[in-house]
Amino acid sequence: MPQVSRTAEAGANVPAGIVASRLDREGFGVRFSGSRRKLWWVAVSILGRREHADDVLQEAALIALGKLDEFDPVTSFDAWMAQIVRYVALNAARKVHRRSSHHEHYAADTHESPVEHESPIDADGVLSQDRGAFDDRVLGALRALPEQARVCLLLRVLEGLSYRDIASMLSIPEGTAMSHVHRARTSMRRHLEKGDRP
């Protein structure tokens, strides 16, 4: 009787015929490094910014290392890690929000600006007069999207993942992932168009 790999059927990126074994730390490192870019976008989509995303990934890696026994190798490693990253990122976002609220309160007394702006000077030393305002609106439109739509959008548009991979990672149907991306693009464009009106 031919050996059938449940792992391959479950889409865990293990070739058919290879029986899945429990992840050890070394194996985790290899799998994690292969998934790190995708997980980065999950973190960024929840944080809404690039800052702290690296910290979130490191903390998520530590948590995952402590829970290696809980990982079922017949399931998707990306999906498992994405859940942990999401959890850590949500906590981090709450902390940032609390710190930001405190800082705003403090700034109100000291006239210190609590808002961090991206430098208006780009890598080529070019001063972009309107870029800051436009960027703020782009980020505002992104943050206004539902969380899952944000993740799908970033994974597809900025990371170039296939809908199949996005669906596997987020444990949603491919069609839902595609719908999220298309709706999110439309929603952001309308948001920006609305802002362009005098």
Query: Which residue in 2, 15, 160, 198 binds other proteins (CB under 8 A)?
Result: 160
Query: Which residue in 109, 117, 193, 198 binds other proteins (CB under 8 A)?
Result: 193
Rule CB under 8 A: say whether 135 interacts with other proteins: yes
Query: Which residue in 7, 12, 14, 40 binds other proteins (CB under 8 A)?
Result: 40
Inter-helix orientation angle 131-143/174-196, to 10°? 140
Rule CB under 8 A: say whether 44 interacts with other proteins: yes
Please state, in angstroms and rounded to a whole number, the distance separating the CA atoms of residues 170 and 145. 16
Please state, in angstroms and rounded to a whole number, the distance separating the CA atoms of residues 61 and 28. 9
Please state, in angstroms and rounded to a whole number, the distance separating the CA atoms of residues 151 and 145. 10
Please state, in angstroms and rounded to a whole number, the distance separating the CA atoms of residues 7 and 154. 27
Please state, in angstroms and rounded to a whole number, the distance separating the CA atoms of residues 166 and 195. 31
Rule CB under 8 A: say whether 22 interacts with other proteins: no
3-state secondary structure of 127: strand
Rule CB under 8 A: say whether 28 interacts with other proteins: yes
Rule CB under 8 A: say whether 140 interacts with other proteins: no
CA neighbor of 94 nearest in space, from 48, 136, 58, 135: 48
Query: Which residue in 15, 124, 197, 198 binds other proteins (CB under 8 A)?
Result: 124
Query: Which residue in 92, 149, 169, 170 binds other proteins (CB under 8 A)?
Result: 149
Give contact residues for other proteins (rule: CB under 8 A). Answer: 25-26, 28-30, 32-34, 36-37, 40, 44, 49-51, 53-54, 58, 61-62, 65, 118, 122-128, 131, 134-135, 138-139, 141-142, 145-146, 149, 154, 156-161, 178, 181-190, 192-193
